[in-house]
A and B are shown apart, each in its own frame.
Chain A
Amino acid sequence: MFHFEVVTKWIDTFLMSNLPEWLALTIEFVLIGILILSAYAVLALILILAERKICAYFQCRLGPNRVGAWGVLQPIADMFKILLKEIITLNRADNRLFRLASFLVIIASLLTFGALPFDKGLHAIDFNVGVFYLLAVSALGVVGIVLAGWASNSKYTMIGAMRSGAQLISYELSCALSLMTIVMLSGTMQLSQIVEQQANMWFIFKGGIPAFIAFVIYLIAGHAETNRGPFDLPEAESELTAGYHTEYSGITFGFFYLAEYLNMFIIAAIATTMFLGAWQPLHIPGLDGFNMVMDYIPPVLWFFAKTFFCVFIALWVRWSFPRLRIDQLLRLEWKILMPIALANIVLMALWILVF
């Protein structure tokens, strides 16, 4: 197996042996920053194109096909267009908070992005309370969204922000409770160790039925966390124009747009890390030949394949179901997902005791 650890370790020792320590550390930090930033930007472009193409095929359309071959340059053109649009300052709004809200959303999303284990050695932030960190930092985005709706001082944004706040905090509970089953199984909250423990078998197989229930709950709740699909009533176009970001224009709108797409990726990546073994190849105990073949596929590819599979499920759900009403949405969370997630924790506890 080729791990990126080889490359990063080599750069580390090379810099450390040739330069004074402070300079080497500075260069490494700058490199990490550039890598994270470029990965974030490239993934955003890929996700936007993928979303538009896949949704077009779901609706029997062609999708973007004018800019570049098969429209591959479309997101880049969109990016330049958004940079060239005027940033409007509002008369009634609290303009400082208004700007700050869009910054908060994207900073929260990038901080979560930095904690994802792409590969051994391609893992920037690895706290020993990693799962906590992911939940805590992604919750910052809610503050940004509610602040955006509040600071715009408009009726549409206000209603959108309130709906979004209620939705996001409700579904955060199911997210936390379903991730807790995996923490019980692994006995650690450090993401790198959680990934290491899945070398023989991914947790979704190791944890049996409770892990599978937790996976499904996490996918539903995580999908609601991204404000998309059947759960997109904070920005329901037909009633609220664009919800909490109605008043945003130019790049400040672009931040919300970018964060929304990357949050979809991040939710899928967390599902991959916790349930599907992050960069660990698919191993079936007993079938050594099969395991050997699987080991030849690079771990980074495994990570992205599994994550994009989860992203595809999210897109599939988005274009297949009609939008829920707010009472249906809250009923789904508080009366169905939450009790199931709580019972699932007890079920997982019993599962660990028995097996």
Chain B
Amino acid sequence: MTNSALFLVVLVTAVFMVVAAMALAMWLSPKSYNALKGEPYECGIETRGPSWGQFRVGYYLIAILFLIFDVEAVLLFPWATIYSSIGLDGLILASFFIFVLLLGLIYAWKKGALEWK
């Protein structure tokens, strides 16, 4: 049995669970239409303005920083896998890589990208 087949089995199981639960709920649940029921949840007043608008820039900054460091993690994982066999050379090379990224973190820190103003 290959793992890919098992992955597909679990995926099919997950989809089956969702479909079965949805079908059961659709069959059992009551249905009543009311125009006000479909309005967004607020404190009793109608929503003003669109919700799909511009958003705070801080979140995008976090996303960009995440991208950099997640790629770092992806690149370091293969190194980590063979680290015990390459020893000191591997450590020196990887610490250079980590150091350069750390500089990036320090730069972002100094520039105030990590502050939430």
Residues of chain A with a CB closer than 8 A to B14's CB? 106-107, 110-111
The residues in A between 162 and 207 inclusive whose CB is less than 8 angstroms from any CB of B are: 162, 165-166, 169-170, 172-173, 176-177, 180-181, 183-185, 187-189
Is B69 touching A173 in the complex (CB atoms < 8 A)?
Answer: yes
Closest to A349 in B: B91
Residues of chain A with a CB closer than 8 A to B70's CB? 169, 172-173, 176
Is B69 touching A91 in the complex (CB atoms < 8 A)?
Answer: no
The number of chain A residues touching the other chain, given as a range, is: 35 or more
Is B77 touching A183 in the complex (CB atoms < 8 A)?
Answer: yes
Mask of A52-90 contacts with B, CB within 8 angstroms, 1/0: 000000000000000000000000000000111111111
Is A28 touching B1 in the complex (CB atoms < 8 A)?
Answer: yes
Among A224-232, A263-271, A273-281, A337-345, the stretch in contact with B: A337-345
Residues of chain B with a CB closer than 8 A to A157's CB? 51
Mask of A340-355 contacts with B, CB within 8 angstroms, 1/0: 0010011001101100
- The smallest beta-carbon distance between A189 and chain B, in angstroms, is 6
Q: Does A291 contact B (CB under 8 A)?
A: no
Q: Does A220 contact B (CB under 8 A)?
A: no
The residues in B between 23 and 68 inclusive whose CB is less than 8 angstroms from any CB of A are: 24-26, 28-32, 35, 37-42, 47, 50-52, 55-56, 58-59, 62-63, 65-66
Instruction: State in angstroms the CA–CA spacing of A82 and B77 once bound together.
Output: 42
Is B63 touching A353 in the complex (CB atoms < 8 A)?
Answer: no
Is A125 touching B105 in the complex (CB atoms < 8 A)?
Answer: no
Residues of chain A with a CB closer than 8 A to B69's CB? 173, 338
Instruction: State in angstroms the CA–CA spacing of A158 and B17 once bound together.
Output: 28
Is A86 touching B40 in the complex (CB atoms < 8 A)?
Answer: no
Instruction: State in angstroms the CA–CA spacing of A172 and B38 once bound together.
Output: 35
Is B65 touching A37 in the complex (CB atoms < 8 A)?
Answer: no
Residues of chain A with a CB closer than 8 A to B39's CB? 90-92
- The smallest beta-carbon distance between A343 and chain B, in angstroms, is 9
Among A282-290, A297-305, A306-314, A327-335, the stretch in contact with B: A327-335
Instruction: State in angstroms the CA–CA spacing of A241 and B14 once bound together.
Output: 29
Tell me whether A153 and B40 are in contact in the complex, defined as CB-CB below 8 angstroms, given that A173-B73, A177-B73, A353-B88 are known contacts: yes
Is B66 touching A173 in the complex (CB atoms < 8 A)?
Answer: yes
Q: Does A294 contact B (CB under 8 A)?
A: no
Residues of chain A with a CB closer than 8 A to B82's CB? 187
Is B76 touching A83 in the complex (CB atoms < 8 A)?
Answer: no
Is A349 touching B59 in the complex (CB atoms < 8 A)?
Answer: no
Is A334 touching B9 in the complex (CB atoms < 8 A)?
Answer: no
List the interface of chain A (C-beta within 8 A of B): 25, 28-29, 32-33, 36-37, 40, 82-93, 103, 106-107, 110-111, 114, 124-127, 131-132, 150, 152-158, 162, 165-166, 169-170, 172-173, 176-177, 180-181, 183-185, 187-189, 241, 246-247, 250-251, 254-255, 326-327, 330-331, 334-335, 338-339, 342, 345-346, 349-350, 352-353
List the interface of chain B (C-beta within 8 A of A): 1, 3, 5-7, 9-18, 21-22, 24-26, 28-32, 35, 37-42, 47, 50-52, 55-56, 58-59, 62-63, 65-66, 69-70, 73, 76-77, 80-85, 87-88, 90-91, 94-95, 98, 101-102, 105, 109, 114-116
What are 25 of the A-B contact pairs (CB < 8 Å)? A29-B5, A33-B10, A85-B29, A86-B31, A87-B26, A106-B14, A106-B17, A110-B14, A111-B7, A114-B6, A127-B7, A153-B50, A162-B55, A176-B77, A180-B73, A183-B81, A187-B84, A250-B25, A251-B29, A255-B21, A331-B114, A334-B65, A346-B91, A349-B95, A353-B87
